[in-house]
Amino acid sequence: MVEEFHCSKRTWTQKFRDAFRGLYLGIHDQSSFCVHFVAAAAVIAAAAALRASLVEWGLLVLSIASVMAAEMMNTALEHLAKAVDRNHNRHLGAALDIGSAAVLLMAAGAATIGAMVLGHRAWIWILGGA
Protein backbone atom coordinates (compact mmCIF):
# COMPACT_ATOMS: atom_id res chain seq x y z
CA MET A 1 0.00 0.00 0.00
CA VAL A 2 1.36 3.42 -0.95
CA GLU A 3 1.25 6.07 1.74
CA GLU A 4 0.29 9.56 0.71
CA PHE A 5 2.66 12.42 1.31
CA HIS A 6 1.01 15.29 3.11
CA CYS A 7 2.59 18.70 3.36
CA SER A 8 2.69 20.34 6.73
CA LYS A 9 -0.25 22.61 7.51
CA ARG A 10 2.06 25.11 9.22
CA THR A 11 2.72 28.35 7.39
CA TRP A 12 6.18 29.63 6.62
CA THR A 13 5.66 32.33 9.23
CA GLN A 14 4.95 29.66 11.85
CA LYS A 15 7.97 27.63 10.77
CA PHE A 16 10.29 30.64 11.06
CA ARG A 17 8.73 31.62 14.39
CA ASP A 18 9.40 28.11 15.71
CA ALA A 19 12.97 28.20 14.38
CA PHE A 20 13.67 31.54 16.08
CA ARG A 21 12.10 30.21 19.28
CA GLY A 22 14.47 27.24 19.04
CA LEU A 23 17.37 29.61 18.51
CA TYR A 24 16.40 31.53 21.63
CA LEU A 25 15.95 28.35 23.68
CA GLY A 26 19.25 26.89 22.48
CA ILE A 27 21.20 30.03 23.28
CA HIS A 28 19.39 30.67 26.55
CA ASP A 29 19.98 27.15 27.88
CA GLN A 30 23.68 26.83 27.09
CA SER A 31 26.49 28.71 28.77
CA SER A 32 28.75 27.36 26.01
CA PHE A 33 27.23 29.89 23.66
CA CYS A 34 28.89 32.73 25.59
CA VAL A 35 32.27 31.22 24.74
CA HIS A 36 31.25 30.69 21.10
CA PHE A 37 29.94 34.25 20.77
CA VAL A 38 33.09 35.76 22.27
CA ALA A 39 35.27 33.65 19.96
CA ALA A 40 33.11 34.55 16.95
CA ALA A 41 33.28 38.26 17.79
CA ALA A 42 37.07 38.06 18.12
CA VAL A 43 37.37 36.29 14.76
CA ILE A 44 35.09 38.83 13.05
CA ALA A 45 37.05 41.75 14.53
CA ALA A 46 40.38 40.22 13.51
CA ALA A 47 39.15 39.43 9.99
CA ALA A 48 37.92 43.00 9.57
CA ALA A 49 41.14 44.49 10.93
CA LEU A 50 43.27 42.23 8.73
CA ARG A 51 41.11 42.89 5.66
CA ALA A 52 40.11 39.30 4.94
CA SER A 53 39.14 38.53 1.35
CA LEU A 54 35.63 37.52 0.35
CA VAL A 55 36.62 33.83 0.20
CA GLU A 56 38.30 34.06 3.61
CA TRP A 57 35.17 35.71 5.06
CA GLY A 58 33.14 32.88 3.59
CA LEU A 59 35.33 30.26 5.26
CA LEU A 60 35.23 32.07 8.59
CA VAL A 61 31.46 32.63 8.55
CA LEU A 62 30.85 29.01 7.53
CA SER A 63 33.11 27.85 10.35
CA ILE A 64 31.33 30.03 12.92
CA ALA A 65 27.90 28.92 11.72
CA SER A 66 28.96 25.26 11.76
CA VAL A 67 30.10 25.43 15.37
CA MET A 68 26.88 27.20 16.40
CA ALA A 69 24.76 24.65 14.53
CA ALA A 70 26.66 21.75 16.12
CA GLU A 71 26.09 23.31 19.54
CA MET A 72 22.36 23.66 18.75
CA MET A 73 22.14 20.01 17.70
CA ASN A 74 23.92 18.97 20.89
CA THR A 75 21.51 21.08 22.95
CA ALA A 76 18.56 19.51 21.14
CA LEU A 77 19.99 16.06 21.92
CA GLU A 78 20.33 17.01 25.60
CA HIS A 79 16.69 18.15 25.75
CA LEU A 80 15.55 14.96 24.04
CA ALA A 81 17.57 12.79 26.42
CA LYS A 82 15.99 14.53 29.43
CA ALA A 83 12.53 13.95 27.98
CA VAL A 84 13.20 10.27 27.36
CA ASP A 85 14.77 9.33 30.71
CA ARG A 86 15.81 11.48 33.65
CA ASN A 87 17.54 8.54 35.34
CA HIS A 88 21.09 7.48 34.53
CA ASN A 89 21.01 5.66 31.22
CA ARG A 90 24.34 4.59 29.77
CA HIS A 91 23.02 4.67 26.21
CA LEU A 92 21.74 8.22 26.56
CA GLY A 93 24.97 9.17 28.31
CA ALA A 94 26.98 7.79 25.41
CA ALA A 95 24.79 9.67 22.91
CA LEU A 96 25.29 12.90 24.85
CA ASP A 97 29.06 12.35 24.98
CA ILE A 98 29.12 11.72 21.23
CA GLY A 99 27.13 14.91 20.67
CA SER A 100 29.65 16.84 22.76
CA ALA A 101 32.48 15.27 20.78
CA ALA A 102 30.83 16.47 17.55
CA VAL A 103 30.89 20.04 18.88
CA LEU A 104 34.52 19.60 19.93
CA LEU A 105 35.53 18.34 16.48
CA MET A 106 33.65 21.15 14.75
CA ALA A 107 35.23 23.75 17.05
CA ALA A 108 38.70 22.30 16.47
CA GLY A 109 38.16 22.41 12.71
CA ALA A 110 36.88 25.98 12.91
CA ALA A 111 39.84 27.01 15.05
CA THR A 112 42.19 25.47 12.50
CA ILE A 113 40.52 27.35 9.65
CA GLY A 114 40.59 30.55 11.69
CA ALA A 115 44.27 30.11 12.49
CA MET A 116 45.09 29.44 8.85
CA VAL A 117 43.12 32.40 7.48
CA LEU A 118 43.97 34.90 10.19
CA GLY A 119 47.55 33.67 10.53
CA HIS A 120 48.09 34.13 6.80
CA ARG A 121 46.50 37.59 6.92
CA ALA A 122 48.60 38.56 9.97
CA TRP A 123 51.76 37.37 8.20
CA ILE A 124 50.92 39.54 5.18
CA TRP A 125 50.25 42.50 7.48
CA ILE A 126 53.55 41.98 9.35
CA LEU A 127 55.44 41.93 6.08
CA GLY A 128 53.77 45.20 5.11
CA GLY A 129 51.71 43.85 2.23
CA ALA A 130 48.27 44.54 3.66
The per-residue pLDDT for range 59-115, each reduced to its tens digit, is 999 999 999 999 999 999 999 999 998 888 999 999 999 999 999 999 999 999 999
In a domain, 12, yes or no: no
Q: What is the residue range of 108's domain?
A: 34-126
**Is position 20 within any domain?**
no
Which carries the bigger pLDDT value, residue 10 or residue 100? 100
Q: How many domains does the chain have?
A: 1
Q: pTM for the full model?
A: 0.84
The C-alpha atoms of residue 130 and residue 128 are separated, in whole angstroms, by 6
24 within some domain? no
Tell me if 10 is assigned to some domain.
Answer: no
In a domain, 26, yes or no: no
Question: The domain spanning residue 72 has which CATH number?
Answer: 1.10.287.3610
Instruction: Tell me, yes or no, whether 14 lies in a domain.
Output: no
Tell me if 76 is assigned to some domain. Answer: yes
